[in-house]
């Protein structure tokens, strides 16, 4: 089943996010190689794909996991969680309707 992992950054997370990004992306790449990720990316703090110093307010990943518990366990081990980039992570089942 698919699960949405919706994360919210702490305030002023940009420097910590940049420092932790390689480890975060390496972990997401594993899901990609396994063909389990549908979409993923950050939420810019401003209405621009490259928010510069404004940074990001969180992230969204939609991926396939064997269960809600497995999705939550994966999210709990994210480098952004461990480093303190995220202040809140919500994991919910997701049903793809479109496209």
- Taken as a whole, the chain contains a residue count of 99
Splitting the chain (99 residues) into consecutive groups of 10 residues, what average pLDDT does each group show? 98 97 97 97 97 97 98 98 98 96
Is 27 in contact with 74 (CB distance < 8 Å)? no
Q: Is the pTM of this model over 0.75?
A: yes
Angle 56-13-79 (CA atoms, 0-180°, nearest 5)?
A: 95
Angstrom distance (rounded) from CA 16 to CA 28: 18
pLDDT at 44: 98
């Amino acid at each position: 089943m698919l699960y949405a992992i919706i994360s919210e950054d702490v305030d002023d997370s940009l420097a910590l996010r940049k420092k932790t990004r390689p480890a975060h992306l390496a972990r997401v790449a594993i899901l990609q190689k396994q063909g389990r990720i549908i979409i993923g990316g950050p939420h810019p703090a401003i209405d621009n794909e490259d928010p510069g110093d404004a940074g990001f307010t969180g992230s969204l990943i939609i991926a396939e996991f064997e269960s809600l518990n497995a999705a939550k366990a994966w999210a709990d081990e994210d480098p952004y969680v461990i480093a303190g980039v995220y202040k809140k992570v919500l994991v919910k089942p997701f049903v793809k309707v479109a496209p």
